[in-house]
Amino acid sequence: MKKILVTGSEGFIGSHLVEELVLKGYKVKAFVLYNSFNTWGWLDTLSKDIMDNVEVFTGDVRDPNGVKEAMKGCDAVFHLAALIAIPFSYHSPDTYVDTNIKGTLNVLQAARELNIERVLVTSTSEVYGTAQYVPIDEKHPFQGQSPYSATKIGADRLAESFYRSFDLPVTIVRPFNTYGPRQSARAVIPTIITQLLSGKTEIKLGSLTPTRDFNYVKDTANGFISIYQSDKTIGQEINIATQQEISIGDLANELIRQINPQAQIICDEQRLRPEKSEVNRLLGSNKKILELTSWKPQYTFEEGLAETIAFLRENLSKYKSDIYNI
């Protein structure tokens, strides 16, 4: 089987992707952000059976030499490493440029020099901004409504340029909002659930009217693998979406109903995005991924939420529900 480098492997989606790749028989090299504690993020929680089949490389995607060293001997790279929190990008945009744009450039340059067979660059539905039409297909205009989304647009266009200029076999993978076990509390679903499980009766949220298209994380991971397995996806930009939407308010009320019907939602001003920065509607088209790959979502929203609640109930001590996590 092919050997695949996964950047951002210690994170939420990355750790699930490492797990799924190993289960499918791939050789996996996990690129983990170097730290002096020798911690590997969520990879530290995976079973010994999984990790015995994973080679861990510590480095930093902002360093071109380390990226190239990590990629040696690999057939493909799934590039997930990025800064993703939108509120943090408001006051620290430089770090997003360095990680999301320069980091992606380093991956593309190394892949070109080493003749890597496939490069999957992770995008985000945030590049579309508020929907101008729905469902949002891959031809929808881009809108940089936050420094985060602007850097992801820049990274995507760099990836496109390497495909067009150097014939690098790039695919831009664009998941809509992913949720599930191991997600950080900066995301809306875990922030609602952890507040409820902590016994809070006032659930602090920002705007309730925006809608989102939620993918369960295992479906997202298998979307990456299905895209990789299809040669038809080379040079393409591909959404991973359910083509269903729910408002944040309706989502919160459903979770309140399931966990603590006595709780109420209150607006926390610090959680509100600037008016022109808020993405009010995301509903993705999955027509292209269904046509070009064998992927189909395997989890209903209800099943995914149940697994997420169960995970957070068991791991609540790892989450600081009293703190607004940006």
Tens digits of residue pLDDT in 234-253:
999 999 999 999 999 999 99
Question: From CA 129, how far away is CA 31, in angstroms rounded?
Answer: 30
**Model pTM?**
0.97
Question: From CA 289, how far away is CA 282, in angstroms rounded?
Answer: 17
Q: Do residues 73 and 165 both lie within one domain?
A: yes
Question: From CA 142, how far away is CA 149, in angstroms rounded?
Answer: 9
Q: Do residues 107 and 194 both lie within one domain?
A: no
Q: What average pLDDT does range 157-186 have in this prediction?
A: 98
**C-alpha 307, offset from chain centre:** 18
Q: Do residues 53 and 72 both lie within one domain?
A: yes
Q: Do residues 17 and 91 both lie within one domain?
A: yes
Is the pLDDT confidence value at 68 over 90?
yes
Q: Do residues 191 and 55 both lie within one domain?
A: no
Q: Do residues 191 and 307 both lie within one domain?
A: yes
CATH number of the domain that 46 lies in? Answer: 3.40.50.720
Q: Do residues 14 and 111 both lie within one domain?
A: yes
Cβ contact 144:243 at 8 Å? no
Band of the pLDDT at 322, cuts 50, 70, 90?
A: confident
CATH number of the domain that 309 lies in? Answer: 3.90.25.10
Model pLDDT for residues 174-221, shown as the tens digit of each residue: 999 999 999 999 899 999 999 999 999 999 999 999 999 999 999 999
Q: How buried is residue 322: exposed, middle or buried, by Cβ count under 10 Å (0-12/13-18/19+)?
A: exposed
Range of the domain at 305: 181-212+244-283+301-318
Domains identified in the chain, total number: 2
Is the pLDDT confidence value at 157 over 90?
yes
